[in-house]
Structures are given as C-alpha cells and as structure tokens.
A = this chain, B = another copy of it.
Amino acid sequence: MSTHVPSAISLKEKGSRECSIHPLFAQRRSLRAFSSKPVEPGRLRLLLEAARWAPSSMNEQPWSFLIAAQENEADFDRLLACLLEFNIRWAQNAPVLLLAVARLTFASTGELNRHALYDAGQAMANLTFQANVCGLSVCQMAGFDMEKTRRTFSIPPSHGPGSHCCSRLPRPSRRTA
C-alpha cells in the first residue's frame, strides 16, 4: 500500500535513520465488504484491551463499549436499530456491532470532562489499529440516532455516545465458490 503515501513524506534526512508511515495506518480502510465468519471472543477482548491502553486526561479512561455479536440476536438487533437506514442496510450482516460511549464528567469530581470524547476517540483509534493487527477490519459509523441510542441503552446525560462501529474479517478479495 506504500503507493498511497506521498513520497515527500518519507524521511531520509542527514544523520537520521529512515522512517515512514506505519503500514497499518496506510492500509486501514473503512471497508463495508466483509466475511460472514464470526469473530472469536478472544480477538474482541484484544481490541478492547488495546483501547484500554490509550492515554486520557487525569487517566480517567472515560470510554466504555457496548458490544453484540450476531449470535446474540436480541442485543445485536438493539444496537442495529439505533443506526440510520443507510447504515443498517450493510451493517446488519456484520458479525459484531460495537458502540463507544464516553463518560462526560470526571468520576472523581463530577465536573465536566471536556476531553472525554477526545479521549474516547483515542481509545477507538487504538481499537481500530489493534483490529488491523489481528486481521480484522473496523468501520465506524457516525450515522446513528443519538436519542434512540440513549433511550435504548439508558445512557444518562453524564455520558455521550461516540460512534457505532462494526468489526469483522475483511471479505477475501478473491471469492471462493
């Protein structure tokens, strides 16, 4: 995928070792085509563990995740129904759906944490990167009904949904019969 990286960005300065964009960034895509194979729980746990290692203001780790695999039909459908129609159309076939939620207030003081969503985004970036390491693909969706999401999962005003996403194996580029 190195052809996608502008060559001007490669670093080869006098006295420094060469360095370039990490291929896992350059190869990340928000793919909507995927294998129907389920994702093993162990892999999912690894994605969450990677998210947990993100930095956060006051080390509040304000993120949490709601997850449903397609096998858990009721939970999966509740998450799916929060998406907007154009996302439901393709996400309904994803093996796993996931919703990131940020606690918007500091647990210690109850005051507004203006970095909560920013930090939750960093956790999601870690999760996405780790997914690539594990051979999975993550596609995030901002197209969801915020109020319906709040109602469905009883998310209080102190918390804010970040993004929905689904995680799955990319569909093999050469189809098998």
A177 at the interface (CB under 8 A from B): no
Say whether A16 contacts B28, CB under 8 Å.
Answer: no
Chain A positions near chain B (C-beta within 8 angstroms):
5-6, 9, 11-13, 16-17, 19-22, 25-26, 28, 30, 40-43, 45-46, 49-50, 53-55, 57-58, 102, 114-115, 117-126, 128-130, 133-135, 140, 142, 146, 162-163
Residue from A122, A130, A134, A135 having most chain B Cβ neighbours under 10 A: A122
With a CB–CB cut-off of 8 A, which chain B residues contact A28? 53, 55
Say whether B40 contacts A21, CB under 8 Å.
Answer: no
Chain B, residue nearest A60 (CB):
B142
With a CB–CB cut-off of 8 A, which chain B residues contact A123? 125
Give min CB distance, A104 to chain B, whole Å: 11
Say whether B53 contacts A25, CB under 8 Å.
Answer: yes
Q: List 16 A-B contacts (CB under 8 A).
A: A9-B49, A11-B45, A11-B134, A13-B40, A19-B134, A19-B135, A25-B50, A25-B129, A25-B130, A57-B142, A114-B142, A122-B124, A122-B125, A125-B125, A125-B126, A129-B129
Residue from A19, A114, A115, A135 having most chain B Cβ neighbours under 10 A: A19
